[in-house]
Amino acid sequence: MINAFAPDLTQHPPRSPRCKLGGYVHLPRLLDKARAVLAGKGGDYHYNCPLDRRFFNFTGIDHEAMLAAIKEGKTDTEMLAWVEARCGKSPAEIKAWSDWLTAHAAGSVDMHAWFMETIKTLSPDREDVVTFFDLLDLDDYHSYGGR
């Protein structure tokens, strides 16, 4: 059984970055990773990774302050209220940012090369992996036994 307050990311992946909380994509995954890291069960997942930092940059929230709030044992609903009290973004801004992040793909030539090499390593026959969210979902699936 998965413990929502201390997920074991050595046994299962965090929620997909596509999952939303309060309209924010990636927030549920970020919470899973933070809780797992605090429990010493983060595995290969890192809190405050580049994708997490996109959330922090958009919201203006300090990652250490958020980690301290998560450490208090707040639920997803309580963490959403905590984020909303500090963020000040409108629902339209949150939707636009979430839509942008969901569609975000490699930009530079070097990033394209890394992206394609990663897909080739994980699943060379896949032609539908075009965004970072696609790649994260594929990596999570592959890392826990999927083919």
The model's confidence at residue 145, banded by pLDDT at 50, 70 and 90, is confident
pLDDT at residue number 106: 86
Task: Give the closest residue to 43 by CA, choosing from 122, 130, 146, 139.
Answer: 139
pLDDT at residue number 11: 92
Query: What is the mean pLDDT of the segment spanning 65-80?
Result: 96
User: What are the backbone dihedrals phi and psi of residue 21, each rounded to the nearest 5 degrees, phi first?
Assistant: -140, 115
Instruction: State the Cα–Cα distance between residues 111 and 115, nearest whole angstrom.
Output: 6
Q: What is the pTM of this model?
A: 0.91
Residue 16: which residues within 8 A CB-CB, separation 6 or more?
Answer: 29, 133, 136, 137, 140
Q: Which pLDDT tens digit goes with each residue over 88-141? A: 999 999 999 999 999 999 888 998 899 999 999 999 999 999 999 999 999 999
pLDDT at residue number 7: 84
pLDDT at residue number 108: 87
Look at residue 3 and tell me whether its pLDDT is greater than 90. Answer: no
Residue 66: which residues within 8 A CB-CB, separation 6 or more?
Answer: 34, 56, 82, 83
The domain spans of the chain are 1-104, 105-147
Q: Which pLDDT tens digit goes with each residue over 78-103? A: 999 999 999 999 999 999 999 999 99
Q: Which pLDDT tens digit goes with each residue over 29-66? A: 999 999 999 999 999 999 999 999 999 999 999 999 99
Question: Could you tell me how many residues make up the chain?
Answer: 147
Task: Give the closest residue to 132 by CA, choosing from 103, 96, 98.
Answer: 103
